[in-house]
Amino acid sequence: MITHKEHIIKYFESGIKDIKNFKIGIEHEKFLFNEKTNKRVDYPTVLKMFSLLSEFGWKPIIEKENIIGLQKQGKSITLEPGNQIELSGDKLNNIHEACAESHDYLFELQQVTKKLNLKIVSAGFDPISSLKEVPNNPKQRYQVMTKDMPNGGSLSLDMMYRTCGTQLNLDYDSEKDFIKKFKIINSIVPISIALFANSSIVEKKNSGYSSYRSKVWQETSRGGLPEVFFDNMDFEKYADFSINFPLLFIQNEKEYLSGSGYSFSDFMNGKISEINNRLPTEDDLTTHLSTIFTENRLKKYIELRSMDTCGWDCLCSGPAFNTGILYGNLDEAYELVSKWDKNKIINAYLEAPKKGFNTELMGKDLLHWSSLLLGISRKGLLNRDILSKSNDNEAKFLNHLDKLIDKRTTNADHMIDKFSKNENLNDLYDK
Give 150's pLDDT tier (boundaries 50, 70, 90). Answer: very high
* Least confident interval from 131-135, 206-210, 313-317, 326-330: 313-317
Q: What is the DSSP string of 132-183?
A: GG------HHHHHHHHHGGGG-TTHHHHHHHB-EEEEEE--SSHHHHHHHHH
User: What's residue 67's pLDDT?
Assistant: 98
Q: Is it the case that residue 422 has pLDDT exceeding 80?
A: no
Give 99's pLDDT tier (boundaries 50, 70, 90). Answer: very high
Burial code of 332-357, b = ≥16 C-beta within 10 A, e = fewer? Answer: bbbebbeebebeebbebbbbbbbbbb
User: What's residue 312's pLDDT?
Assistant: 80
User: What's residue 107's pLDDT?
Assistant: 95
- Looking at residues 53-80, what average pLDDT do you find? 97
* 250 sits in which H/E element: strand 249-252
Q: Is it the case that residue 3 has pLDDT exceeding 80?
A: yes
Count CB atoms within 10 A of the CB of residue 267: 24
Q: Cα 100 to chain center, whole Å?
A: 19
pLDDT digits (tens, 9 = 90+) for 300-358: 999 999 999 998 878 999 999 999 999 999 999 999 999 999 999 999 999 999 999 99
Residues 6+ apart with CB under 8 A from 374: 321, 398, 401, 402, 405
| Contact criterion met (CB below 8 Å) for 320 and 378 | no
- Looking at residues 271-298, what average pLDDT do you find? 97
Q: Judge residue 242's burial from the number of C-beta atoms within 10 Å of its C-beta, 0-12 exposed, 13-18 middle, 19 or more buried.
A: buried
- Looking at residues 232-246, what average pLDDT do you find? 98
Give the β-pairing of 249-252 and 255-258.
antiparallel
Gap between the Cα atoms of 262 and 250, Å rounded: 10
Count CB atoms within 10 A of the CB of residue 300: 16
Residue with the larger pLDDT of the pair 252 and 90 = 90
Q: Is it the case that residue 77 has pLDDT exceeding 90?
A: yes
- Looking at residues 361-385, what average pLDDT do you find? 98
Angle at 107 between CA 101 and CA 113, to 5 degrees: 130
Give 31's pLDDT tier (boundaries 50, 70, 90). Answer: very high
Q: Is it the case that residue 421 has pLDDT exceeding 90?
A: no
Widest CA span in the chain = 60
Gap between the Cα atoms of 419 and 301, Å rounded: 39
Q: What proportion of the chain, given as a percentage, has pLDDT over 70?
A: 100
Residues 6+ apart with CB under 8 A from 78: 61, 68, 69, 85, 86, 88
- Looking at residues 209-221, what average pLDDT do you find? 98
User: What's residue 419's pLDDT?
Assistant: 85
Q: What is the DSSP letter of 245?
A: S
User: What's residue 314's pLDDT?
Assistant: 87
Give 427's pLDDT tier (boundaries 50, 70, 90). Answer: confident
In the predicted model, what is the mean pLDDT of the chain? Answer: 97
Q: Is it the case that residue 163 has pLDDT exceeding 90?
A: yes
Give 86's pLDDT tier (boundaries 50, 70, 90). Answer: very high
Gap between the Cα atoms of 251 and 179, Å rounded: 31
For residue 88, the SS3 value is: strand
User: What's residue 199's pLDDT?
Assistant: 97
User: What's residue 57's pLDDT?
Assistant: 98
Give 423's pLDDT tier (boundaries 50, 70, 90). Answer: confident
